Amino acid sequence: MKRLVAASMGALFLTAVLVSPSVSLHAAAAEKTVNGTVSAVAADSITIKEKDAEIKLTVDSKTKVIGTGAGTKDAKMKDDKKPTQIVDFVKAGDSVMAKYDEATKVATEVRLHKPVAK
């Protein structure tokens, strides 16, 4: 009986180890990146213009916005108990890089590029 339990536990462990990496690799393969200029932004979406095309991505509460001052502004708004939306950080004309799920077109991260000095 002890051998049966030990063998079962070993098989479960081995299955978990073998299945987990393949799931992670599959998820990473679905992520894409787009670089461009924001042509439109709304509370639930962002449209980014690349050289030859535009892509509209959905944004949600899980979408991270990264850029100079974004973390500070986010923390202040949370302290003031105000909800944050992408329109609080990103505006049309901004240069951005966005990571998104290819299948759902949901942005997981929007990174603001430092503005070019004029």
Name the residue with tokens 């979408």.
63
Taking the alpha carbons of 32, 55, 58, 74 in that order, is the dihedral positive or negative? positive
Tell me how far apart the alpha carbons of residues 11 and 13 are, in angstroms, rounded to a whole number: 5
Q: 77-98, pLDDT tens digit by residue?
A: 888 888 888 998 999 999 999 9
CATH class of 32-112: mainly beta
pLDDT tens for residues 24-78? 444 555 899 999 999 999 999 999 999 899 999 999 989 999 988 888 888 888 8
**Tokens 């003031």 sit at which residue?**
80
Helix (H, G, I), strand (E, B) or coil at 18: helix
Q: Is 86 exposed, middle or buried (0-12, 13-18, 19+ CB in 10 A)?
A: buried
66 Ramachandran zone, left/alpha/beta (phi>0; psi -120 to 50): beta
Q: How many CB atoms lie within 10 A of CB 100?
A: 24
Domain spans in the chain, listed from the N-terminal domain onward: 32-112
